[in-house]
Structure 1
Amino acid sequence: MYCSCFTVPFALMIIHFVYRFWSIRHPHLIPLFSKKIFVVPVACYPVIAFVSWLLLAFYFTTGEGEEIAKIILREETIKRYGFELREGWLILHHWENGLFNKPAFACVAFVDFIMIVSFSIASALAGLTFYHIKRTEAMSLETNNLQRKLFIAVSAQTFVPVVCVYIPYVFVIDFPFFNLPVFFMDDACSTLTSFFPAWDAVIMMWLMKDYRMGLIGMFKKKKVGQPETVWKTVSSVVMPST
């Protein structure tokens, strides 16, 4: 479940840029975001990714039996945290006994492929969106400025998964294959990943004034006006008959 959560930033990042690109280049496609024929496949993407992660963890990682990597991890857990975690390990032992571990490499290569493709799609959509914002002449100046602000906000949001998800992933999963040090990232990985959902929203509220004011308004006490008594006099005039 934890590993499958890496897919969430991929999906959100691509959806953000698809919406921004369509709003500039193909606005007639925007209604698809409210139709089941489009929403259902998008919702299935994280589910398919979860199943993929589960199968990869089941077939390509180790953790059963008394292998040397498991013993090392147990000892390291006792030294760092003061308790022993005997079972539940998912181990990618890239160079087991000095020999190249093909299943571990296949697992890392597959998830790296997903990450690279997702980031490439998002980057391409971002570049196309920025290009068409600059070149389009069909929008008013006010609309163009709004689209620029939204594009900057979405681009800034992209740095959140980069810092909280991609960088920890590369340190923890890819660096060990090349025998590179992970520094403190093995401890910080879970913490940074858990920061991602909250900071994703914070960036948008920080950059967009309407969102900031809406959030502030939720915590402001509404002023209750004093009741006023209003007197209303109705008079009628009867004209004399002639």
Structure 2
Amino acid sequence: MYIHWTHHYLPKTFGILSFIANPIFIYLIVTEQKSSSIGKYRFLLLFFAIFDMTYSAVELLAPVGIHGTGSAFVVCLTDGPFYGKENLRLGQIAVSIRCGCISLSYGILVIHFIYRYIALFHPKLVSRIFQPGGMACIIVFFLIHGIVWSSICEIFLYGDDEMRDYIQDAFQKDYGVDSYEIAFLGALYMEGSEEVKERSWAGILILTGVSTYAVSLYIVLGYKIMRHLRNNPALSVNTQNMHRQLFRALSVQTFIPICISFSPCMVAWYGPVLGLDLGMWNNYLGVIALSAFPFMDPLAIVFLLPGYRNRILRVVPKPRIRITTIYTKSTQRGATTVTYH
């Protein structure tokens, strides 16, 4: 299912770049000589990098397209090993898992915010986090986000014959495909049967609640962390600087998914409700943005944490400077010229 060259190539490009940027990030973490400056927090950063590559792998295996038509929202499989009429059920599961990765990105950010909060307000508990019991809780908490999101998609947003009939003309016109031959998830808000409308609204509202809970938690914990850093003279200057650097990186990490995950999802979900006929524009505004997350995420951390940024910059060759002084006979004053090599 071909939509546009940007939709076809840019997500794949971001996926490849993710498999370049994240291993470099992992190398910086593992080989950092002053790892004590961030302590065991580096384990969470490693977890983040591994998740980013997993996110990209799922995206490459299950590429999706987003379409809004009439009063319906649809996210469908466009390519990959699960695409095709013979794989409709498996393809729908692949789309659900692909969508669940969005919630996993929310979950892992919540974990980072909770860790920063504990490190500042309850530092004695930090050591317990990285014990087997603590790590097990982190993994379970993280996985629950993806399982809940994917389950909601499967229970409430599955594509049935009524939805296939509703989107058939639009998909035949815009993409040249039969809606009965593609795997998709969707919501039909106003023009379907009562059963379809009720489960569509239920699914979208639950997903909205999950997204809103995560973003609200970022804001609440972020405010508490900033306030604590500003009004706590007991912390040493070095400790405050370290926490500020880590929190600055985490803030940018949060800004990225809000802009390229949360916002595109809200526009795609509620555009049809508001009468916005975005059509294929959802693919340019949403799908491409969602694919950029696992590549941009490690870049934000590397260039916001001075230790990692300086190591990267040391690898980049600096221009050599040659200084030459030229004397004149009349004044014997030197004129200095600078040459860059």
Aligned equivalent of 1:110, options 202, 206, 215: 206
Of residues 190, 201, 212, the one that matches 1:95 is 190
Residue 190 of structure 1 corresponds to 287
1:46 Cα deviation (Å)?
3.9
Q: Name the CA shift for 1:54/1:207 in 2 (closer, same or farther; >3 Å).
A: closer
Task: State the number of aligned residues.
Answer: 217
Deviation at 1:217, TM superposition (A): 5.8
Determine the C-alpha separation between the residues in 2 that align with 1:76 and 1:29: 59
Q: TM-score, normalised by structure 1?
A: 0.79
SS at match of 1:177: coil
Aligned residues with identical type, % of pairs = 20
Map Cα deviations across residues 173-203 of structure 1 (whole Å, 9 max, x no partner). Answer: 1222332344723333222112111111111
Give the Cα separation in 2 of the matches to 1:179 and 1:143.
Answer: 51
Counterparts of 2:259 and 2:294, CA distance in 1: 12
The residue type equivalent to 1:168 in the other structure is P
The residue type paired with residue 294 of structure 2 is P
Structure 2 length-normalised TM: 0.58
Q: Counterparts of 2:237 and 2:144 in 1: how far apart (Å)?
A: 42
Structure 1 residue 35, shift from structure 2 partner: 1.5
Q: Is the 8 A contact 2:152 2:207 kept in 1?
A: no
Partners of 2:137 and 2:170 in 1: how far apart? 39
CA contact (8 A) 1:94 1:101 kept: yes
On the 8 A contact 2:168/2:178 being kept in 1, the answer is no
Q: After superposing the two structures, state which structure 1 stretch, 88-97 or 123-132, moved more.
A: 88-97
1:168 counterpart = 2:264: yes
Matches within 5 A, 1:50-89: 50-65=146-161, 67-78=164-175, 86-89=181-184
Supply the AA of the counterpart residue of 1:202.
L
Q: Paired residue for 1:34?
A: 130
Give 1:133's match in structure 2, choosing from 220, 229, 244: 229
How far the C-alpha of 1:76 sits from its partner, in A, is 4.5
Q: Give the structure with the higher percent strand.
A: 2
- 8 Å Cα contact 1:77-1:84 kept in structure 2: no
Does the Cα contact within 8 Å between 1:14 and 1:118 map onto a contact in 2? yes
Give, in whole Å, the separation in 1 of the partners of 2:133 and 2:169: 49
Task: Say whether the 8 Å CA contact 1:171–1:182 is kept in structure 2.
Answer: no
After superposition, give the CA deviation of every residue in 1:160-183 in whole Å (9 maximum; x if it has no partner): 101110111111112223323447
Alignment check: 8 A CA contact 1:153 1:208 kept: yes
TM-fit CA distance, 1:216: 4.7
* Residue in structure 2 matching 1:203, options 296, 300, 306: 300
Task: Specify the alignment match of 1:213 in structure 2.
Answer: 310
Read off the aligned partner of 2:129 and give its amino acid letter.
Answer: F
Largest Rg, 1 or 2: 1
* Contact map agreement 1:164 1:192 (CA 8 A) in 2: yes
Q: Give 2:38's aligned residue.
A: none
Q: Distance in 2 between matches of 1:76 and 1:172?
A: 20
Structure 1 equivalent of residue 82 of structure 2? none
Q: Secondary structure at the residue paired with 2:246?
A: helix
Which secondary structure does the structure 1 equivalent of 2:299 belong to?
helix
Closer, same or farther in 2 for the Cα pair 1:196/1:156, shift >3 Å? Answer: same
Match of 1:9 among 95, 105, 110: 105
Asked if the contact 1:63–1:70 (Cα under 8 Å) also holds between the matched residues in 2, the reply is no
Alpha-carbon distance in structure 1 between the residues aligned to 2:233 and 2:173: 61
Contact 1:69 1:91 in 2 (8 A): no
Provide the rounded CA distance (Å) in 2 between the counterparts of 1:45 and 1:176.
33
Which runs of at least 4 in structure 1 moved beyond 6 Å after TM superposition? none
Separation (CA, whole Å) in 2 of partners of 1:213 and 1:95: 55
Q: Which runs of 5+ in 2 are unaligned?
A: 1-96, 318-341
Counterpart secondary structure, 1:92: strand
Q: In the alignment, what sits opposite 1:239?
A: none
**Per-residue deviation at 1:132?**
0.8
